[in-house]
């Protein structure tokens, strides 16, 4: 006789019929350990949809190598199939795009751009409507191009994403346009314009915690640059809180690095140091070369202000090595300029 009661093996058997659905529900509830176990179970048989979902979860948790491998397996499995369904094409484009997103986090911008361009090609050649996946790839191509200051090309990618959303009747068209204009303005040294665009976007992002966290980080960055560090701390604290709820170590690293700058402007050395340490810790956990190089640069700048020239030089040199090893020339150049400005060497 099977006793039907909460927590019984019969309940477990029923729940384990669809581990992917259970994993997604656990992730939504913030039950990260349970979600990790269920995603692993769902992806065991190599189902591409489960691999893509599991990879996305792993990426947000900072497990970038695991996420990349799962996405590669999904791409290989789906590429071998003829006459793919709409869901299969969507998963294929998503997996390829996420390989590009992860490569950017690791500092490999060239590989990021190549993967994202391939994702776009796959989406545009699909006989199915994969607009959501196409615009995701175009958005991230814009982000990767902006990282290396190719702003005209980034703007073109954002505009293509906007056109696709408008044609599809996507209600988020105006919202995403505001976000894109904010990122471009930030990269183009126009923080006042960036702050206005991020403020406009944030008003409509309550139901999208991932984009909200990114928007708040951009908004906080812009506010620091216009000398409103106290307001920036408020935005960045909220971004940090959301990223912690999501288990997004890369997002935590970014928000912490920006908080360090805000606290430096406010003269709060203890809070600045704590934020710098969190930036480095989270970037090392996630394997983000950009995050680690940025954290080391922040530490070097703090050492320089404190008069510790030896430690400052050591941190600057390590930061430049990390940036150069990742192939991120603009970041390496910015670190070198900061070293010369801080130390005169």
Domain that holds residue 81: 33-173
Strand (E) or helix (H) holding 121: helix 109-125
- For the chain, how many structural domains are there in total? 1
Q: What pTM value is reported for the model?
A: 0.79
123-136 residue pLDDT tens: 999 999 999 999 99
Q: What is the pLDDT of residue 1?
A: 40
In a domain, 102, yes or no: yes
Do 146 and 184 meet the contact criterion of CB atoms below 8 Å apart? yes
Residue 155 lies in a domain: yes
Q: Is residue 5 part of a domain?
A: no
Those residues with Cβ within 8 angstroms of residue 90's Cβ, 6 or more apart along the chain or in another chain: 128, 130, 132, 133
In a domain, 76, yes or no: yes
CATH number for the domain harbouring residue 75: 1.25.40.10
Round to whole Å and give the CA distance between 211 and 207.
Answer: 9
Report residue 48 as tokens.
């591409």
Residues 6+ apart with CB under 8 A from 70: 43, 51, 52, 54, 55, 58
Around Cβ 121, how many Cβ atoms within 10 Å?
13
Fill in the DSSP letter of residue 325: H
**Which H or E element spans position 197?**
helix 191-202
**Cα dist. 32→52, 53, 69, 284, 320 in Å?**
17, 14, 20, 20, 35
**186 CB neighbour count, 10 Å cutoff:** 21
Query: What pLDDT shows up at residue 17?
Result: 57
pLDDT the model gives residue 41: 81
Which residues of the chain fall short of a pLDDT of 70?
Answer: 1-17
| In-domain check, residue 159 | yes
Q: What does pLDDT average to over the chain?
A: 88
Residue with tokens 């970041």: 331
65 occurs within a structural domain: yes
Instruction: Answer whether residue 258 is part of any domain.
Output: no
In a domain, 320, yes or no: no
């Amino acid at each position: 006789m099977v006793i039907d009661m909460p927590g019984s093996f019969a309940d477990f058997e029923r729940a384990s019929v669809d581990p992917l659905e259970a994993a997604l529900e656990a992730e939504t509830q913030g039950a990260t350990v349970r979600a990790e176990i269920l995603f692993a179970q769902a992806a065991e048989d190599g189902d591409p949809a489960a691999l893509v979902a599991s990879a996305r979860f792993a990426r947000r948790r900072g497990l970038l190598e695991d996420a990349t491998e799962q996405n590669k397996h999904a791409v290989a499995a789906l590429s071998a199939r003829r006459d793919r369904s709409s869901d299969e094409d969507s998963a294929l484009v998503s997996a390829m795009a996420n390989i590009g997103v992860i490569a950017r986090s690791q500092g490999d911008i060239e590989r990021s751009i190549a993967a994202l361009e391939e994702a776009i090609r796959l989406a545009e050649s699909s006989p199915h409507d994969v607009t959501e996946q196409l615009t995701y790839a175009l958005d991230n191509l814009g982000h990767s191009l902006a990282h290396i200051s190719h702003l005209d090309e980034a703007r073109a990618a954002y505009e293509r994403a906007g056109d696709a959303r408008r044609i599809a009747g996507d209600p988020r068209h105006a919202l995403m346009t505001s976000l894109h204009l904010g990122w471009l303005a930030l990269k183009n040294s126009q923080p006042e314009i960036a702050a206005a665009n991020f403020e406009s976007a944030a008003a409509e992002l309550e139901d999208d915690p991932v984009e909200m966290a990114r928007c708040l980080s951009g908004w906080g960055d812009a506010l620091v640059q216009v000398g409103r560090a106290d307001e920036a701390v408020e935005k960045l604290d909220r971004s940090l809180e959301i990223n912690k709820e999501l288990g997004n170590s890369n997002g935590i690293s970014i928000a912490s690095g920006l908080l360090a700058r805000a606290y430096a402007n406010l003269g709060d050395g203890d809070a600045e140091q704590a934020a710098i340490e969190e930036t480095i810790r989270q970037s090392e956990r996630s394997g983000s070369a950009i995050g680690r190089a940025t954290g080391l640069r922040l530490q070097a700048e703090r050492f320089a202000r404190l008069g510790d020239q030896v430690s400052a030089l050591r941190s600057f040199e390590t930061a430049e090595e990390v940036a150069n090893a990742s192939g991120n020339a603009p970041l390496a150049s910015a670190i070198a300029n900061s070293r010369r400005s801080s130390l005169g060497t």
